[in-house]
Structure 1
Amino acid sequence: MRIYSYISVMAIMLSSPLAIDAQAAPATTPRTHAITIDDFFDIGQMQDVAISPNAKQAVWLESRWDEALDKAQSDLWLINTQDKKSQRLTFTHDNESSPVWSHDGEFIYFISADKKDNAKAPFNGKNQVFRITLANLAIQPMTKEELGVNAFQLSADSKSLYFLANKKSTDTDQWAEMRANYSAPKYAHGKRDTNPLKVLDLTNFKQKTVLDDDKVVWQFNVNDSGSKIARITTSDNELVYYEGWSNIEIFDVKTASNKVIDDKQWRQQAPSPYGWLLGLDWHQDNQQLAFRIDFDGYPGKLFVVNTQANTPTIELKPIGKTTFQGGDIQWRPKSNELCYLGAQSARTQLFCSQINQGKVGDTRSVLAGDTVVGSYSFGVSGKQVVFSHNSLTHFHDLFIADADYKRSQFKRLTNINPQVDSWQLPQISVVTWQAPDGATVEGILELPYGYKKSQGKLPLVVQIHGGPTAATSYSLQHRSYGRATFPASGWALLSPNYRGSTGYGDKFLTDLVGKEHQIEVADIMAGVDKLITDGIVDGEKMAVMGWSNGGYLTNALISTTNRFKAASSGAGVFDQRLQWMQEDTPGHVINFMQGLPWAQPDAYDKASSLTYADKINTPTLIHIGEHDQRVPVGHAQGLYRSLKHYLNVPVEMIVYPDEGHGLNLYKHRKAKMEWDKKWFEYYVLDK
């Protein structure tokens, strides 16, 4: 049984030359449209796909930018999987999320925040559970929590709606009275948001609290019989607790007893204790629970625990050089297969592994071709699977396949971005090169539409992915971080999957630990030199850009070499000590530095661009969100001060008000893209 949360992972989609592209553009469609920055805001994004129980319909969440609202807007769409007729289900200014079907296919439940003037819950602007009746498309609220709902789950028979509510809890330690008496200041701790678990009877609409133990619940899942509830919990909602001090708990409904699962395998025996638990899912036998843990810098793990028998927890191993990806793990219905996503050489595949009598059996790749799968969903029989898919020629769309076989062919159901059929698309390829230490590294190269090597060398943008425990996918992307934008303007664009990236094996991933600001910098520059040697790139006309860890590596590159004529550093770490002190997930720094600042002072020096700031002479744009907690604004301020006041290097610092680690407003996204384009043209192309 799956859990449906308001916070869903934005999936990266894929490409597959073997797909049956039923709605692809006719071969005669002329590609006459040159891609522009404005085209970015016209792309529909697809996530949270869900197939109906009988597999005859499917629903998805579609997000599009709305200039008038100054944000991206998400709505629910429905399609008939036989005749491919689709219709939009919601038309609000609120963002819908987490769609799930009732067992009979009559209703779709989802989360939305509907706000009406001076209204109480459920129309007070807080997230609530709603449902839409397919017969007449009527929408009605299911919950009316004053502080809103975090996540929900339907029971297997759709007679009960479980949901996580919100509650303000106050510590009762010896200083509680002092904090209460002097309440004007802000305190670092003492209050927290906790999550009681409630259930609504959908027959008589009576509601009760199932479990309220003043814990923060990051995810929950109820088994099909309703006898056990799995939760990922912490004692506080500060993110640092989730990073390394979270537990998986099993609540027995009949005895009202709670048990914490032994965590030795993913804490004490793991390469790092700072891991993120995610992806709870019960087998239909009501006993086996699957879950994942992810680490920064180390391979993630996948486990199955039998909560009934006193047997060891099973650990699944990825095949080949695959890296487990994301928390979307599902037991395939009517089977003993556990299914999950795996990163593999810039692709993401859907895998299923047999679990029989406490042992791991055969593992198969479900879909054929070069796939980079995002969201996926099985029908109740387990025989059909729908999934989102992004190829080299189109963006996110819905596909369906037979889930029973290995490497199944699949067919396309939607074409939500028909405008792309006329775009002059970049030429996308995978390029490989040798790092200085002999390792093979690869990246995604984008060249302008119609470009031939005989036309001469191109200016280059090196666009660096974040994470670093992530990878750039082999698929069409038009992003505010450079892809598609610059190739459309005559640039080559290289997105290197440097050491530390996922999908290239455990060693490739862990080689970065203890070597940040060194090994990945060498990897990237070797790729640049490869393109220069091949006669594609003009080595005198190069720029570098990135966001998050890509911003960190932008800082690292310009403090290591003066070969780049311009840089755009977005939300990039400048000093590792400052990062450990201020970011909301400090375990990330501890992992890569291999210890705390007072234990590894040299490591923090070597991995900080601040240490080498006097070497920087590259004109640099600095982008940062005003309220970024992942890479706090102090990094941008330190880089700006170094360049502007002490080194006399051309610099602009752009602080986006009310933004966090990403840019959520239309005007801010567009400002960033325009600034990058103008900055690179001026300093690299002398425009």
Structure 2
Amino acid sequence: MPTPKTAVVMVLVVSCALFVESQTKPKLTLDEFFSSVSFSAVELSPDGNSVVIGTERADWDQQIFRTDLWLYRDDDKGSSLIQLTQSGHDSDPKWSPDGRWIAFLSERKTTSQKSDDSDGDKKDEGVSQIYLISPSGGEAFAVTQGEEEVHSFSWSADSQTLYFATRNPWTKAQKDDYKKEWKDAVQYRTAERGDTIFALDLATALARHAAPSKEKSEADKESDLTPGTRVVATSPLRVEGLITSPDGTKLAFVSSAINQRQEKYDDYEIYAVDLANVARAPSPANPRRLTHNQADEGKLRWANDSHHVLFSVQVGDVTGPYRDLQPHLYSVDAESGAVEQWSKDFIGPIEHYALAGDTVVTSARLGTEVQMYSVSKPSGSLHQVSNWQGTYEGVSSSSHSPRVAFVYTSVTKPAEVYLAENSTKLDQARPITSFNKLFTERELPQGKPYQWKADDGSTVEGMLIYPPGKFEAKHLPMFTLIHGGPADADGNHFEADWYQWAALAATNGWLVFEPNYRGSTGYGDKFLLQIVPVIVSRPGKDILEGVDALVKDGIADPDHLAVGGYSYGGYMTNWLITQTTRFKVAVTGAGAVEHVGNWGNDDTTFDDAYFLGGRPWEAPQRYHDQAAIFQIDKVRTPTHMVAGADDIRVAVLEDYLLEHALYSLGIPNKLLVFPGEGHGLGKNPWHGKIKVREELKWLQKYGGVPAGN
């Protein structure tokens, strides 16, 4: 046992070592921050010995976000990670049930498409088609063709057939007739057409790939039909989330609006197709509707009994009139249509889930933590099976192995893919990627949850992300960074992108406050529902009361307060600068300042009317009272704005309106509009980088905080 003197020396040595380590690690730079790799897919092979991983990263030269596939192997020869595809346009990998093939979607251009280009498009992007590649090696090859993109696909249970859905294809004659009559005019709604589900036998696809290439006729070149396919079913709506039952007798899918706008509840339902009936019928099958509700279902998976379809709901409610709840897990009986919610006693949202035999393995949120749980029956309670504090996501399991793959991250640990031997040994999982190793070599900010009391006595929580080397320091300049959604939450995870850039703001000297205001997930449906019908004023109170509490506790410097956010975070920023002048500077993006025009433009109008208690003519006073534009004369805060030129969800006109108002009032402001971008800045990585670069400059200029780098 060491003596007290020896113990003191040991403590000093350890402390000095930690200090030296922190001093030797450089801080993150802007360029490094935007070099992060995110994971779009994690798919465990049927035998559990391989994992296909989808990655997304910036390609600065091509000015695109590359989406590539990687293959991790773990067998008798050892473990390895190799790049499986390199086109930069590959996603949504699916193993064949026998493990011999990997099918995926790719937007790479074919040789004929490249030769037809007249604009020299260097981004090399085509129409999404199905490709096959062997995990044993070889080049990927297309098995579908045409101008119609594949919306969804699924393997048959015996691995011998690919089912896929596209918009109802037209012949060359139909295309020519339409172009002759309408030229480039857009027939909004009236020209829409639904989807067809096709079947393509694997043997046919392989034979066509192996056959010598022949010069196609003009009719064949213009045809959107893949040779050798047969029609399984048709739908007047778009087909998504196509899945095949384990016994191979049924398909299931979720429908959605053809124009991708949430306007009618009936557009979003789960359907089944009985494949036995298809084989006997002289004409394509009419899918059988399973659900009848006011909810947007998604993330479909067949249960092992081939009798129930599991799903989650992103917006809406399966039990009655429309209301926005947290994402819960449900199952529907494929015969009776009876719907049952799983683990009703769990108050948080189900983020991701996978099936391991008869057990559901899921990642689910409680407050600022997203942990892994398991449950074996709908009436059962979720049982926590993870031990690491942080965020688990992208869960994948195998049909013939107990292994589980997942993505894990925390505030001080960048995201990587991990592999565990089974769901009871997650704390022994090993990382199988190291794409974000650079971040482990930098001095990262530390963070912790923070709670305060709202004016109505409710407890509200958020995250505090401290500047590197200043964990739990006092009297810090504070940047309130508001998450979007609003049905989302900030927590114990590391993010590095244009939308979630708290780590970079903290590195530049700011204490970042991320409030999970009323309307956020992870605190129960009641907490989330309290945003209705006070869409900005109730969350606004929560946020300002959090700022007050941090100032009172001596954590935040009241003379150096900033605010910002994107999407719904932009809504809230626009509102808050009309409610107080305490913020010295604001950065906002893709946020509305009024609700009437936004209701008309938005592609998610379900929740617009719901949050405000009706459509514009049904609740005109509330549309007025909850809009920043009618109080904009109170603003004194220098405000930086960004927007995507092609944004439908929050039209760029909202940003022009805010800019014009601030300009007319003489308030310092700046607006950046990014061409070709929608609501998310996912087209050109330079846009997101420029956004954050300029926002940091704006914070420094008006917030009075010296640049961190």
Report which stretch shifted further, 535-544 or 337-346. 337-346
Aligned to 1:60: 53
Aligned to 1:21: none
Residue from 332, 337, 342 that aligns with 1:305: 332
Q: Which amino acid aligns with 1:99?
A: P
Aligned to 2:320: none
Task: Assess, with a 3 A threshold, how the Cα gap between structure 1 residues 666 and 405 changes in structure 2: closer, same or farther.
Answer: closer
SS at match of 2:593: coil
Aligned to 2:340: 314
SS at match of 1:528: helix
Aligned to 1:278: 298
CA distance in 2, matches of 1:548, 1:387: 28
Task: Assess, with a 3 A threshold, how the Cα gap between structure 1 residues 556 and 486 changes in structure 2: closer, same or farther.
Answer: same
SS at match of 1:321: coil
Q: Which has the higher contact order (CA 8 A, sep 6+)?
A: 1
CA deviations over 1:591-638 (Å, ceiling 9, x no partner): 111111111112211211112111111111111111100001121111
Aligned to 2:217: none
SS at match of 1:280: strand
Aligned to 1:331: 355
Task: Assess, with a 3 A threshold, how the Cα gap between structure 1 residues 191 and 368 changes in structure 2: closer, same or farther.
Answer: same
Residue from 267, 272, 275 that aligns with 1:253: 275
CA distance in 2, matches of 1:598, 1:371: 45
Report which stretch shifted further, 508-517 or 148-157. 148-157
Q: Which amino acid aligns with 1:321?
A: I
* Counterpart check, 1:217 vs 2:239: yes
Residue segments in structure 1 that go unaligned for 5+ positions in a row = 1-24, 171-176, 268-272
Contact 2:41 2:53 in 1 (8 A): yes
Residue from 584, 591, 612 that aligns with 1:565: 584
Task: Assess, with a 3 A threshold, how the Cα gap between structure 1 residues 100 and 506 changes in structure 2: closer, same or farther.
Answer: same
Report which stretch shifted further, 41-50 or 497-506. 41-50
CA deviations over 1:40-66 (Å, ceiling 9, x no partner): 221111231111222122120121111
Task: Assess, with a 3 A threshold, how the Cα gap between structure 1 residues 255 and 120 changes in structure 2: closer, same or farther.
Answer: farther
* Counterpart check, 1:643 vs 2:662: yes
CA deviations over 1:458-505 (Å, ceiling 9, x no partner): 211110000000111211223324311111111111111111100111
Task: Assess, with a 3 A threshold, how the Cα gap between structure 1 residues 281 and 515 changes in structure 2: closer, same or farther.
Answer: same
Alignment of 1:229-628 (within 5 A): 229-234=251-256, 236-241=258-263, 245-256=267-278, 258=286, 260-261=288-289, 263-264=291-292, 267=293, 273=294, 275-295=295-315, 297-308=324-335, 310=336, 312-325=338-351, 328-333=352-357, 335=358, 337-355=359-377, 360-405=379-424, 409-451=428-470, 457-481=475-499, 482-628=501-647
Report which stretch shifted further, 255-264 or 275-284. 255-264
Q: Which amino acid aligns with 2:251?
A: I
Deviation at 1:423, TM superposition (A): 0.4
* Counterpart check, 1:106 vs 2:100: yes
CA deviations over 1:93-121 (Å, ceiling 9, x no partner): x3210112233333222111222454489
CA distance in 2, matches of 1:408, 1:446: 25
Task: Assess, with a 3 A threshold, how the Cα gap between structure 1 residues 362 and 644 changes in structure 2: closer, same or farther.
Answer: closer
TM-score, normalization by structure 2: 0.84
Task: Assess, with a 3 A threshold, how the Cα gap between structure 1 residues 657 and 119 changes in structure 2: closer, same or farther.
Answer: closer
Aligned to 2:132: 131
Identify the structure with the greater helix proportion: 2
* Counterpart check, 1:86 vs 2:86: no
Q: Which amino acid aligns with 1:107?
A: W
CA deviations over 1:534-556 (Å, ceiling 9, x no partner): 22221111111100000000001
CA distance in 2, matches of 1:406, 1:36: 36
Alignment of 1:162-177 (within 5 A): 162-167=163-168
CA distance in 1, matches of 2:685, 2:522: 32
Aligned to 2:686: 667
Contact 1:168 1:192 in 2 (8 A): no
Contact 1:193 1:237 in 2 (8 A): no
CA distance in 1, matches of 2:705, 2:368: 34
Task: Assess, with a 3 A threshold, how the Cα gap between structure 1 residues 436 and 409 changes in structure 2: closer, same or farther.
Answer: farther
Aligned to 1:144: 145
Deviation at 1:33, TM superposition (A): 1.5
TM-score, normalization by structure 1: 0.87
CA distance in 2, matches of 1:301, 1:329: 11
Deviation at 1:67, TM superposition (A): 0.8
Task: Assess, with a 3 A threshold, how the Cα gap between structure 1 residues 412 and 453 changes in structure 2: closer, same or farther.
Answer: closer
CA distance in 1, matches of 2:185, 2:636: 43
Q: Which amino acid aligns with 1:187?
A: Q
Residue from 63, 66, 89 that aligns with 1:95: 89
Contact 1:107 1:133 in 2 (8 A): yes
Task: Assess, with a 3 A threshold, how the Cα gap between structure 1 residues 366 and 260 changes in structure 2: closer, same or farther.
Answer: farther
Aligned to 1:196: 196
Aligned to 2:35: 42
Deviation at 1:178, TM superposition (A): 12
CA deviations over 1:410-460 (Å, ceiling 9, x no partner): 332222222112201101111111112111111111111111666x62211
> What is the root-mean-square deviation of aligned Cα atoms in Å?
2.8
Contact 2:412 2:445 in 1 (8 A): no
SS at match of 1:598: coil
CA distance in 1, matches of 2:337, 2:647: 44
Deviation at 1:558, TM superposition (A): 0.2
Q: Which amino acid aligns with 1:423?
A: R
Contact 1:280 1:329 in 2 (8 A): no
Q: Runs in 1 of length 4+ with deviation above 6 angstroms?
A: 27-30, 120-124, 177-180
Q: Which amino acid aligns with 1:143?
A: T
Contact 2:255 2:268 in 1 (8 A): yes
Aligned to 1:656: 674
CA distance in 2, matches of 1:182, 1:200: 33
Report which stretch shifted further, 37-46 or 77-86. 77-86
CA distance in 1, matches of 2:334, 2:178: 43
Contact 1:102 1:109 in 2 (8 A): yes
CA distance in 2, matches of 1:426, 1:329: 30
CA distance in 2, matches of 1:623, 1:303: 38
Deviation at 1:247, TM superposition (A): 2.3
CA distance in 2, matches of 1:560, 1:119: 54
Task: Assess, with a 3 A threshold, how the Cα gap between structure 1 residues 450 and 301 changes in structure 2: closer, same or farther.
Answer: closer
Report which stretch shifted further, 480-489 or 383-392. 480-489
Aligned to 1:187: 187
Deviation at 1:373, TM superposition (A): 1.8
CA distance in 1, matches of 2:22, 2:661: 52
Give the number of equivalent residue pairs. 637
Residue segments in structure 2 that go unaligned for 5+ positions in a row = 1-17, 117-123, 172-176, 206-227, 279-284, 317-323
Q: Which amino acid aligns with 1:40?
A: F
